[in-house]
């Protein structure tokens, strides 16, 4: 008989360790990043700033301004995940995100009790500052100000060349903070438009008026679908699209496209897709893996076996076979077969 002293278990279940650890403290975990809600502050109409305190698994030192974190929480027994830009990373490792109440997860998160625990991803995303000698133009609208403000805080310190920010807003979130930055850093020019008081939108005429040399600048844009489409159209027309760096917060499909049949090949599932393939699959009762729903995290990436899809962010149509697509930003424009 083998003695108990010679018995060596080959593995211990991570979820069992986490179960025991959370009895000691709710955020303790072997590998997962769990975070406690420290404070919730109203900063605009249905717009909240939330301070989260992650456990020691969070790699705060790897954070770059402009990046985001995925927040996972359980609602009605189902895990939901959404991505939010990290507005600020504090010296003690706390991360501050800004949440607009425009979805089930955002409403639940901004209504959390202090001390509530959520799960976080590591900092991620490629919407970060380039080390470029060119002047900078930043464009923001709505909740897109969260990513832009994060970039702006670093840019005014790292660079001394001209920085212009054009901000279209209904609720003036971070307006006071940006005005303070502009006072502290003379190379920052702040152009603020409250769209409730003034029906102003992004246009080529406005850019030429406010920032005449914008074609020679690195352009960072984040905001509403309408503003983003205008930014892409202007930079493409002027052949400076390579200088445009963007992040999206709204995915808007082309309503002129008729619903198309989509087949998940391996699972033998077929459905009609009238919105994004991800949304249409969910409406048909399917649950493909996904994360950010904005084309950032790659969780929903898969192979399109055949058919044509439109990338909602870029407007480009992919007709090729056996190419990678992201379900959350792809709209079927013909019958499509996907390797899922």
Rg (CA), the chain: 22
Amino acid 191: pLDDT: 97
Neighbouring residues of 40: CB distance < 8 A, sequence distance ≥ 6: 48, 49, 50, 51, 110, 112, 114
What is the maximum alpha-carbon separation in the chain?
A: 87
What percentage of the chain exceeds 90 in pLDDT?
64
pTM of the model: 0.75
The DSSP annotation for 172-199 comes to: -TTHHHHHHHHHH-TTEEEEEEETTTS-
Pick 55 or 248 by higher pLDDT: 55
The domains of the chain are located at 14-120, 136-247, 260-339
- Separation of alpha carbons 204 and 221, rounded Å: 15
- Just give the CATH number of 14-120: 2.40.30.10
What percentage of the chain exceeds 70 in pLDDT?
92
Amino acid 256: pLDDT: 80
Quick: pLDDT tens for 133-158: 999 999 999 889 999 999 999 999 99
CB 179 within 8 A of CB 149: no
* The CATH number of domain 260-339, selected from 2.40.50.140, 3.30.420.40, 2.120.10.30, 3.10.20.30: 3.10.20.30
- Separation of alpha carbons 176 and 164, rounded Å: 16
Amino acid 3: pLDDT: 47
pLDDT at 58 over 80: yes
Mention the CATH class of domain 136-247.
alpha beta
CA neighbor of 245 nearest in space, from 150, 128, 76: 128
Q: How many angstroms separate the Cα of 4 from the Cα of each of 11, 12, 16, 115, 167?
A: 16, 17, 21, 42, 68
Low-confidence winner among 11-20, 67-76, 208-217 (lowest mean pLDDT): 11-20
Neighbours of 210 (CB within 10 A): 13
Beta-strand relationship, 330-332 and 309-311: antiparallel
Quick: pLDDT tens for 80-122: 778 899 999 999 999 999 998 877 888 999 999 999 999 999 9
Distance of CA 230 to the CA centre of its chain: 20
């Amino acid at each position: 008989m083998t003695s108990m002293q010679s018995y060596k278990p080959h593995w211990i279940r991570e979820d069992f360790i986490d179960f025991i650890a959370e009895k000691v403290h709710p955020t303790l975990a072997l590998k997962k990043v769990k975070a406690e809600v420290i404070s919730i502050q109203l900063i605009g109409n249905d717009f909240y700033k939330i301070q989260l305190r992650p456990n020691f698994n969070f790699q705060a030192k790897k954070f770059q301004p402009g990046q985001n974190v995925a927040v996972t929480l359980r609602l009605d027994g189902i895990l939901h995940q959404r991505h939010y830009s990290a507005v600020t990373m504090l010296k003690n490792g706390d991360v501050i995100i800004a949440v607009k109440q425009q979805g089930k997860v955002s409403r639940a998160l901004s209504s959390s009790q202090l001390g509530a625990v959520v799960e976080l991803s590591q900092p991620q995303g490629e919407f970060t500052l380039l080390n470029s000698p060119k002047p900078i133009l930043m464009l923001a609208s709505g909740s897109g100000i969260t990513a832009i403000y994060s970039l702006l805080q670093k840019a005014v310190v790292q660079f001394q060349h001209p920085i212009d920010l054009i901000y279209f807003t209904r609720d003036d979130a971070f307006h006071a903070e940006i005005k303070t930055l502009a006072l502290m850093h003379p190379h920052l020019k702040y152009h603020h438009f409250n769209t409730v008081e003034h029906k102003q939108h992004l246009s080529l005429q406005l850019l030429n008026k406010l920032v005449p040399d914008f074609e020679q600048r690195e352009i960072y844009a984040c905001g509403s679908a309408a503003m983003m489409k205008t930014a892409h159209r202007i930079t493409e027309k002027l052949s400076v699209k390579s200088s445009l760096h963007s992040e999206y917060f709204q995915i808007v499909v082309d309503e002129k496209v008729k619903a198309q049949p989509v087949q998940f090949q391996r699972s033998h599932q077929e459905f009609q897709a009238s919105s994004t393939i991800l949304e249409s699959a969910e409406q048909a009762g399917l649950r493909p893996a996904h994360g950010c729903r904005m084309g950032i995290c790659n969780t929903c990436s898969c192979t399109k076996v055949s058919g044509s899809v439109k990338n909602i962010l870029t407007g480009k149509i992919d007709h090729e076979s056996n190419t990678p697509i992201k379900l959350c930003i792809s709209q079927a424009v013909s019958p499509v077969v996907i390797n899922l």
